[in-house]
Amino acid sequence: MSKKRTSTKKSKLREYIEIIVTAVLLALIVRALVIQSYHIPSESMEDTLLKGDFLFANKFIYGAKVPFVEWRLPAVRQPKPGDIVIFKFPGDNKTDYIKRCIAVEGQTVEIRGRRLLIDGVEQEEDYIKFVYGDIPRRNYGPLVVPKGHIFVMGDNRDNSYDSRFWGALNKKFVRGMALFIYFSIDYDRHWMRFTRIGDIIR
């Protein structure tokens, strides 16, 4: 009788371990290939994204990078202008950055003061922010985005370290597209921003 009880306990323990291991493996696969959490540490994407926002990103859409190797899964589609993308900063290939895709390969980027021109056409950008008023701003370009690259900029144009400073972004560094905010905290007030939770990122 005691042997049967011991055997039953062992089988149940083994069953629990298998469930836990399976759940952990599935969670790791989902995190590596499908969806991942990111934190906004700076003001470079204000007012679209605020410092203290926590968001989920779709890693599958652009073709997720397979961990430990240089392979990528097939992409659903490529980044396009308007997408808010998460990528590894090309300067160190470690730090997560988040910016808006402004132009893709073959397009010509030109900046004149506050005005952004793509292929010679001025863009209407209702999401951008300037924090330093009407001070003179340096012009940029024209630059033709190289093949396999995108041009990214922060929505807070006066406070963003982006493609204007370190060049077009090689798509091999892209990790995903921002989806929605699942948590947000105001570090100055030490309080949650309840109204931002669940916001779709555009």
To the query of whether residue 2 is one of the catalytic residues in this protein, the response is: no
Contact 127, 111 (CB under 8 A): no
Higher pLDDT, 71 or 132: 132
Is the pLDDT at 8 greater than 70? The verdict is: no
Tokens 């400073």, residue located: 165
User: Catalytic one among 44, 160, 163, 184?
Assistant: 44
pLDDT at residue 24, as a whole number: 61
**63/127: higher pLDDT:** 127
Amino acid 11: pLDDT:
77
Between strands 174-186 and 191-192, the pairing is: antiparallel
- Location of structure tokens 């309840």: 194
What value does the mean pLDDT take over residues 134-148?
94
Task: Pick the range with the lowest mean pLDDT from 21-35, 42-56, 156-170.
Answer: 21-35
Share the mean pLDDT of the chain: 88
* Residue 120 pLDDT: 96
Q: Taking the complete model, does pTM exceed 0.85, yes or no?
A: no
Which residue in 11, 12, 51, 99 is the catalytic one?
99
Comparing C-alpha atoms, which of 143, 137, 145, 173 is closest to residue 65? 173
Under a CB-based contact definition with an 8 Å cutoff, are residues 104 and 155 in contact? no
Q: What is the pLDDT of residue 64?
A: 79
36-196: CATH, from 3.30.413.10, 3.10.620.30, 3.80.10.10, 2.10.109.10: 2.10.109.10
Residue 65 is predicted with a pLDDT of 74
Is 44 assigned a catalytic role?
yes
C-alpha angle 177-147-31 in degrees, rounded to nearest 5: 25
Enclosing H/E stretch for 18: helix 2-33
Rg (CA), the chain: 22
Q: pLDDT class for 75, splitting at 50, 70, 90? A: confident
Structure tokens at 148: 């396999």
The residue extents of the domains of the chain are 1-33, 36-196
Strand locations in 64-173, DSSP E?
A: 84-88, 96-104, 108-112, 115-118, 121-122, 140-144, 149-153, 169-170
